[in-house]
Amino acid sequence: MFNSLISSIKRWHSKPKADRGAEPKPPSDNGQKPKPAKKSPRAPKTSRVVVPRSDHSLSRRDVSRAALTVMKRLQEAGFEAFIVGGGVRDLLLGGHPKDFDVATDATPEQAKQLFRGARIVGRRFRILHARIGREVIEVTTFRGHHSDGEAHEAQQSEHGMLLRDNVYGDLESDAVRRDFTVNALYYTTNGFEIHDYTGGIRDIEQRQIRMIGDPETRYKEDPVRMLRAVRFAAKLDFEIEPTTAAPLKELAPLLRNIAPARLFDEVLKLLMSGNGERTFDLLREHELWPHLFPDNARELETPEALALTRQALRNTDDRIRNDQRVTPAFLYAALLWPAVNSEQKFLTEKGIPPVPALAQAAQKITSNQLIHTAIPKRFSMPMREIWEMQSRLPRRGGERAFRLMEHPKFRAAYDFLLLREDSGEIPAGLGQWWTDFQQADEQQRQQMVRDVPRNGARGSKSRGRRNRGGRNRNSSKRPNGGADHPSN
């Protein structure tokens, strides 16, 4: 496919512009079109390549019906409309795009008229959410160059960060405002061509993540682009092109200027999209990890903390691959646990009893994390329950084991216990007891509880004693196949 793409690029480069395929039809003159911004002297150089239908593998059949409907409606109203970003990139790579984004020369207000119930969202970037059936398609208006904009349409902070970017332009100016070349490919059903202004097709072919424009400036405009570089490299198994990778370490501290809520969303995309382990390695390599999870990063010198972090990410990846549910509560519980555990130890050495020490440690480490990435309450509450249950799982005497198993977070807490054992943080044993208990019938369960050593009934305090309880250790089969995440 790419050979034909590349040869066609050469051909198209050498043709005079007038010959290059069908230009998108000029929109009908409805008197409302935004004026394309004048070309700024600072605009990066581009060369336009249009790959005709015959020379690429992308087909309208691969595009969601909703996205096709949005494009069609915009085109019928006289506007240009293209699929851009992950939709084009992933299809060219033979993958399945997560969603389709549409770029157009219609302003958000103009586009809104065309879709019933559509909403304009965002302040920094005003975007239209067009709902077609159950799908929501993001429709963005072509961005322009900043020097063309009024102050109230584009704003930059003293660090060079873009606070607002609502200056509109044309397809070419839109392309250079995007982050990476592979994300700036445009596909239109009006002629079925792919438009490439930034060398995205070459970079897809060479499997490289390359920033459009000067990497340092573009990271300063929006430091989240540093995380996006890593995310796409991990997801696509691409290299980060050297000049794009070079500023990462130095600029990593800029992540502190990003709102914690936005970083939380980014963390989910980084770690809960099926490539979490590889993403973790790249984030560490480029020294971005300590700016997302400083308390975890500090603990990683301990082999158990590294093993637990890695195993949690690997389990998440496996679960996503198997279409099983994953929750940020479990992953955050794992990422913060090594620090919570150290803090708890520190407090117990100072004489605070283990249970309040755990509560205090949990409070401290959670508050610390919130400075960096938000954790919505619906995840932080179960995260803390998972931790809290770690001190209850050893106490199984009387009715306790039966009651614990009824707890809504039992499954998560049990999975977490297995993770801790697998990482070597605590010796194996208790996890197997719980595995057996879940598989046993009522009578066997009663017997198992009677056999729990007395310290197990009262709740053990020392690590060694905690793991003495338990029979049937020869059975290693775990319900539902092993050290998994919670089902809730």
Residues that bind ligand ATP (CB under 6 A): 85-86, 98-99, 101, 178-179, 183-184, 222, 224-225
Interacting residues with Mg ion between 350 and 369 (CB under 5 A):
none
Comparing CB distances to ligand ATP, the nearer of 184 and 297 is 184
Q: Examine residue 247 and tell whether it contacts Mg ion (CB under 5 A).
A: no
Nearest to 273 by CA among 336, 231, 308: 231
Interacting residues with Mg ion between 314 and 353 (CB under 5 A):
none
Q: Pairing mode, if any, of strands 239-240 and 127-132? A: unpaired
> Which tokens is 263 given?
């970083």
Q: Which of 55, 90, 101, 203 is catalytic?
A: 101
Comparing CB distances to ligand ATP, the nearer of 178 and 420 is 178
- Phi, psi angle pair for 87, to nearest 5°: -60, -50
Alpha-carbon gap, residue 332 to 271, rounded angstroms: 10
Q: Could you tell me which stretch among 77-85, 324-332, 418-426, 460-468 binds Mg ion (CB under 5 A)?
A: 77-85
Q: Examine residue 169 and tell whether it contacts Mg ion (CB under 5 A).
A: no
From residue 347, give the alpha-carbon distance in Å to each of 53, 294, 342, 459: 67, 20, 9, 19
Integer-rounded Cα radius of gyration of the chain: 27
From residue 427, give the alpha-carbon distance in Å to each of 92, 289, 327, 418, 420: 48, 29, 26, 10, 9
| Nearest distance from C-beta of residue 224 to ligand ATP, angstroms | 5
Q: Do residues 214 and 243 make contact, with C-beta atoms less than 8 angstroms apart?
A: no
Alpha-carbon gap, residue 448 to 458, rounded angstroms: 15
| Nearest distance from C-beta of residue 210 to ligand ATP, angstroms | 13
Alpha-carbon gap, residue 164 to 157, rounded angstroms: 10
Q: Examine residue 108 and tell whether it contacts Mg ion (CB under 5 A).
A: no
| Nearest distance from C-beta of residue 23 to ligand ATP, angstroms | 22
Alpha-carbon gap, residue 207 to 205, rounded angstroms: 5
Nearest to 273 by CA among 330, 317, 323, 229: 317
Q: Could you tell me which stretch among 80-88, 395-403, 404-412, 431-439 binds Mg ion (CB under 5 A)?
A: 80-88
Comparing CB distances to ligand ATP, the nearer of 224 and 305 is 224
Q: Could you tell me which stretch among 7-15, 81-89, 280-288, 480-488 binds Mg ion (CB under 5 A)?
A: 81-89
Comparing CB distances to ligand ATP, the nearer of 142 and 434 is 142
Quick one: what does residue 179 bind among ligand ATP, Mg ion, none, with the CB cut-off 5 to 8 Å set by partner type? ligand ATP
| Nearest distance from C-beta of residue 303 to ligand ATP, angstroms | 33
Comparing CB distances to ligand ATP, the nearer of 68 and 449 is 68
Comparing CB distances to Mg ion, the nearer of 99 and 135 is 99
> Which tokens is 146 given?
């900043």
Comparing CB distances to ligand ATP, the nearer of 81 and 448 is 81
Quick one: what does residue 145 bind among ligand ATP, Mg ion, none, with the CB cut-off 5 to 8 Å set by partner type? none
Quick one: what does residue 183 bind among ligand ATP, Mg ion, none, with the CB cut-off 5 to 8 Å set by partner type? ligand ATP
| Nearest distance from C-beta of residue 129 to ligand ATP, angstroms | 13
Q: Do residues 361 and 344 make contact, with C-beta atoms less than 8 angstroms apart?
A: yes
Q: Is 148 annotated in the active site?
A: no
Q: Give per-residue burial for 127-152: e unless 16+ CB within 10 Å, then b.
A: bbbbebeeebbbbbbbbbbbebbeee
Q: Which of 174, 179, 196, 436 is catalytic?
A: 179
Q: Do residues 362 and 320 make contact, with C-beta atoms less than 8 angstroms apart?
A: no
Comparing CB distances to ligand ATP, the nearer of 98 and 249 is 98
DSSP helix/strand/coil, 44: coil
Q: Is 179 annotated in the active site?
A: yes
Q: How many residues bind Mg ion (CB under 5 A)?
A: 3
Q: Kindly tell me which residue out of 66, 70, 80, 86 binds Mg ion, with binding defined by CB under 5 A.
A: 86
DSSP character string of 130-162: EEETTEEEEEEEPB--GGGS-TTTEEE-TTS-E
Q: Which of 62, 99, 170, 451 is catalytic?
A: 99
| Nearest distance from C-beta of residue 58 to Mg ion, angstroms | 16
Alpha-carbon gap, residue 300 to 392, rounded angstroms: 26
Give, for 305, the enclosing helix (H) or strand (E): helix 303-321
Quick one: what does residue 277 bind among ligand ATP, Mg ion, none, with the CB cut-off 5 to 8 Å set by partner type? none
Alpha-carbon gap, residue 486 to 412, rounded angstroms: 4
Comparing CB distances to Mg ion, the nearer of 141 and 309 is 141
Q: Is 55 annotated in the active site?
A: no
Quick one: what does residue 225 bind among ligand ATP, Mg ion, none, with the CB cut-off 5 to 8 Å set by partner type? ligand ATP
Residue 430 has, within 13 A of its CA and on its CB side, a CA count of 31
Report which DSSP code applies to 191: T
- Phi, psi angle pair for 32, to nearest 5°: -115, 0
Q: Examine residue 83 and tell whether it contacts Mg ion (CB under 5 A).
A: no
Quick one: what does residue 222 bind among ligand ATP, Mg ion, none, with the CB cut-off 5 to 8 Å set by partner type? ligand ATP
Quick one: what does residue 149 bind among ligand ATP, Mg ion, none, with the CB cut-off 5 to 8 Å set by partner type? none
Question: Would you name the residues annotated as active-site residues?
Answer: 99, 101, 179
Would you tell me which residues interact with Mg ion (CB under 5 A)? 85-86, 99
